[in-house]
Amino acid sequence: MGEDEKAFWRRRFLSGRTPKACRNGPCVWFHAASVGEVTGGLGVIGRLPDVDPQVEVFLSVGTPQGYRFARSHVPKNVQVFEAPMDVPWAVWRTVTSLRPDVFVTLESEFWPLLHWCLRKHGIPVVLLNGRVSEKSWRQYRRFFFIFGHVFRSIQWACVNTVEDQQRLVTLGVSPQRITVTGSAKYDTLTHRADPSLVEAWRRRLGLSSEAPALVAGSLRGEECQALLEIFIKLKRECPRLVGIFAPRHLDRVASMIAWLQGHGVPYDLLSSFLSNESQRRQSDCLVVDGIGHLFELYGLGHFIFCGGTLAPVGGHNIVEPLAWGKTVYYGPHVEKVWEEQVVLQRHGAGIMVHSPEDLYGRWRHALLSGAFGGWKKDAARKALEELGGAAERQLTSLQPFLWRAKAQEASK
C-alpha cells in the first residue's frame, strides 16, 4: 500500500480535515462505496444545479480508487472527501460538521452508526440506484437487530428492480416510499465515451487499429484462467490478436501472472504504461492491475467479455461496452443484471454463451471469417437509450427534499 492510500485510510478515521458547507443553498451529501457507485451518481449529481443553482453538493467515497475517480469525473463545484469509517468519533464529527439537508446513499451503502447519527440530527435519508441482492437480504434479515433502524430511516428509495423493491419492503421500508427507476449509471456512459480516449490508449499501448483486440473485464474466479486460455488458443490461429484482461478484484492479479509465467506466456502490466510514458509494449497480453480504467479499455476491444457471468456470481456491468458501440458477450449467470441482459438480447447487442468452450467457438469463427470488426453500433445505441433516463426520474424524487430544505431555511 502506497503512502497516498495510507493517508486516505487515515483520513477515513478523520485525523484530517472535515468538510463544511457554506449554507448558501440546500446542502446534499452523496455517499458512494467506490468507482461503480460514483458512476451511478454522476447523472444526478451533474444535473442538481439545474434544479437549484445554489445547491451545495458533497460526495464521500470509501476507497482510494473511487476517490481518485470521483475527483476526476464530478463537476468542479462538488466537494469530494473520504467517507468516515462507521465508528462513533468519525461519523459524529462528519455529520455535525457538514449537517446536510439530505443524505443520499448510492446502491447498497447501509452503515448502522452513520444512519443512527443522521436520524439523531433529523437528516432525511434517500437511497438512489438501490439494490439488495438475495445474499445481502438474508444477512440483513439475520442481523435485523443491527440493520432494522437503517432501513426504517430511509424516507425515499429509488431502486433498480421490482425484486429490490420487494426486499426493501420486507426490511422495513414503507412501500409508499419506494419507486422503481432503474439505475442511473447508464445515463452518463455516452457522454463519457470520448473517441479521443481510445486513440490515446492506442498510442500509449502501441496498438494498431487493424489488429483485433480482446477485452475481458470484471473477471471472477475461474474466469481469470479461462479467458487467458481462450486467448492463447485464439492467438495460435490469429497471431495479431491482442488480449486485455481485468480481474474484478486486484488480489487475483498475482495468480493470473503466475499462470502466465507457468505457461511461458509473455505479458505486460497496465501500470507500467501509466507510471512510465516511455514504456513500450513487449507482449500482446496485458493484465490490468489497477482500478478505474476498464470503461475506457472497452473502447479498444473487438471482442468484449463481461465477467461474473461464467462464474456463478450473477454478473457485473454488462452495459458499459455499449457506449462504445460494442457487442457484449457474457455467461448464463446474469441474475444481478437480468433486466439489462433482456434489453441487450432484445436489441441484439448482447450474446450469452454457456461455457468457455462456447465463447471460444464463437470468437474463433468470427476471427477466421474476418467478422471481428462488425459490432452492431445501432443495436448498442438503441439498447443504451432504453436503459437510460433513470437520472431524470431520480431527480424528480429528490426535488421535494430540496424544496423542503429551502422552505425551512426561509422560515427561520
Residues 325-351: tens digit of each pLDDT: 999 999 999 998 998 999 999 999 999
Residues 32-64: tens digit of each pLDDT: 999 889 999 999 999 999 989 999 999 999 999
* Residue 229 falls inside a structural domain: yes
pLDDT of 1 reads 65
Return the ∠ at Cα 70 (arms to 65 and 75), rounded to 5°. 165
Query: How many structural domains compose the chain?
Result: 2
Active site residue 37: yes
Q: Give 109's DSSP letter.
A: -
Query: Per the structure block, which three cell numbers stand in for 226?
Result: 479461462
* Residue 205 falls inside a structural domain: yes
Question: Is residue 389 over pLDDT 70?
Answer: yes
Q: Is 102 left (phi over 0), alpha (psi -120 to 50) or beta?
A: beta
Q: Are 171 and 132 in contact (CB under 8 A)?
A: yes
Return the ∠ at Cα 233 (arms to 236 and 322), rounded to 5°. 110
Q: Are 33 and 107 in contact (CB under 8 A)?
A: yes
Question: Is residue 108 over pLDDT 80?
Answer: yes
**SS3 (DSSP) at 136:** helix
Residues 123-159: tens digit of each pLDDT: 999 999 999 988 899 999 999 999 999 999 999 999 9
Question: Is residue 3 over pLDDT 80?
Answer: no
CB atoms within 10 A of CB 281: 15
Pairing of strands 154-159, 350-352: unpaired
Q: Are 121 and 94 in contact (CB under 8 A)?
A: no
**209: pLDDT confidence band, cut at 50, 70 and 90?**
confident
Pairing of strands 328-330, 56-61: unpaired
Q: Are 350 and 341 in contact (CB under 8 A)?
A: yes
Return the ∠ at Cα 278 (arms to 231 and 212), rounded to 5°. 25
Mean pLDDT computed over 290-297: 92
pLDDT of 373 reads 56
Residue numbers of the domain that contains 110? 3-187+389-407
Q: Give 57's DSSP letter.
A: E
**26: pLDDT confidence band, cut at 50, 70 and 90?**
very high
Mean pLDDT computed over 99-126: 96
Q: Give percent of the chain above pLDDT 70.
A: 98
| 110 and 92 share one domain | yes
Mean pLDDT computed over 92-120: 95
| 402 and 381 share one domain | no
**16: pLDDT confidence band, cut at 50, 70 and 90?**
low
Mean pLDDT computed over 151-176: 95
Q: 174: burial class by Cβ within 10 Å (0-12, 13-18, 19+)?
A: middle
**18: pLDDT confidence band, cut at 50, 70 and 90?**
confident
pLDDT of 64 reads 92
CA separation for the pair 109, 34 (Å, rounded): 10
| 359 and 242 share one domain | yes
- Mean pLDDT score across all residues of the chain: 93
* Residue 25 falls inside a structural domain: yes
CB atoms within 10 A of CB 111: 19
pLDDT of 22 reads 83
* Residue 15 falls inside a structural domain: yes
CA separation for the pair 56, 259 (Å, rounded): 49
Q: Give percent of the chain above pLDDT 90.
A: 82
Ranking 13-27, 213-227, 261-275 by mean pLDDT, the lowest is: 13-27
pTM here is: 0.86
CA separation for the pair 366, 181 (Å, rounded): 37
Which CATH number characterizes residue 246's domain?
A: 3.40.50.2000
pLDDT of 175 reads 94
DSSP E strands, 160-235: 178-180, 213-219
| 145 and 239 share one domain | no
pLDDT of 405 reads 85
Question: Is residue 23 over pLDDT 90?
Answer: no
**SS3 (DSSP) at 106:** strand
* Residue 53 falls inside a structural domain: yes
| 183 and 103 share one domain | yes
Pairing of strands 268-269, 285-287: parallel
| 315 and 373 share one domain | yes
Catalytic residue among 5, 37, 223, 409: 37
| 103 and 145 share one domain | yes
Instruction: Mention every residue, 6+ apart, whose C-beta is less than 8 A from residue 389.
Output: 182, 187
* Residue 216 falls inside a structural domain: yes
* Residue 34 falls inside a structural domain: yes
Place of cell 465477467: 307
pLDDT of 375 reads 59
Residues 374-383: tens digit of each pLDDT: 557 899 999 9
| 12 and 79 share one domain | yes
Question: Is residue 306 over pLDDT 80?
Answer: yes
Which CATH number characterizes residue 36's domain?
A: 3.40.50.11720
| 53 and 177 share one domain | yes
Mean pLDDT computed over 280-299: 94
Helix, strand, coil % in the chain, rounded to nearest 5: 50, 15, 35
Question: Is residue 202 over pLDDT 80?
Answer: yes
Cα separation values, 105 from 37, 108, 118, Å = 9, 8, 12
Name the nearest CA neighbour of 381 among 189, 215, 184, 183: 189
Q: Are 381 and 343 in contact (CB under 8 A)?
A: no
**SS3 (DSSP) at 41:** helix
| 247 and 381 share one domain | yes
pLDDT of 162 reads 93
| 362 and 394 share one domain | no
* Residue 412 falls inside a structural domain: no
CA separation for the pair 250, 21 (Å, rounded): 36
Question: Is residue 411 over pLDDT 80?
Answer: no
| 175 and 278 share one domain | no
